Amino acid sequence: MKAPLFSSARRCRFVILISGRGSNMQSIVRACREQGWPAEVAAVISNREDASGLQWAASQGIPTRVVPHRDYADRVAFDAALAREIDAFEPDFVLLAGFMRILTEDFVRHYADRLINIHPSLLPLFPGLGTHRQALEAGVAVHGCTVHFVTPVLDHGPIIAQGVVPVMPGDTEEALAERVLGIEHVVYPTVASWLAHGKVSLEAGKVVVRDVADRAFLWSAPAVSLEKCA
């Protein structure tokens, strides 16, 4: 299925799901506005009332919603309620940005070809949690992040783009996580821009990105400041 193409009269609508401060969400909102994409973040939704990213989104005039997962008996009921909130905003794409919930197959299929995730590793390496620890234990020379379409298989799905950072001598999990987060703030807004401009499609299960020179982002800096996303 091809992703929709947007004319100048049609603005792409994103709904972003977060569970915490939503630093990737913030980077997408900033890039969308500063670069003048034909798009808007229609809503930011969280499963946690105390997610600080909700306050930031509200301060930017973006509608916010909370669907507390603890209010529902199981994942099926939670996902159904979450989908109702999302669908009220009529999104073209749903972006997972640190949304710490495993989604049901029905939810994923409901948003087939419209559900995007960022994962802090170079998939298919190190799916699941503890990716930075896994990278250090494996002794890899490079690490990074992956933006991909979501499928019912956790941390799989067609890859749209990846960001690569070096693993430095003496790295800790915290230092490596900080470096990876820096490249996430480059890759995810870039992919969102491609989506907004209709440059990404799925053809026979393969990602096609048009008019883009490179889908890999290399970053050699050993550290990054997080002040902008505090």
Count the helix, strand and coil residues of the chain and give each as a percent rounded to the nearest 5: 35, 25, 45
- Known catalytic membership, residue 143: no
Centroid of chain to Cα 113: 14
Q: Do residues 150 and 79 touch, judged by C-beta distance below 8 A?
A: no
Q: Is the peptide bond between 189 and the residue preceding it cis, with omega within 30 degrees of 0? A: no
- The residue with tokens 């973006």 is 62
Closest CA to 158 of 198, 123, 115, 205: 205
Phi-psi region of 55 (alpha: psi -120 to 50; beta: other; left: phi over 0): alpha
34 backbone dihedrals φ, ψ, rounded to 5°: -70, -35
Rg (C-alpha) for the chain, rounded Å, is 17
SS (H, E, C) 104-168: CHHHHHHCCCCEEEEECCCCCCCCCCCHHHHHHHHCCCEEEEEEEECCCCCCCCCEEEEEEEECC
Identify the active-site residue in 69, 110, 119, 143.
119
- Active site residue ranges: 119
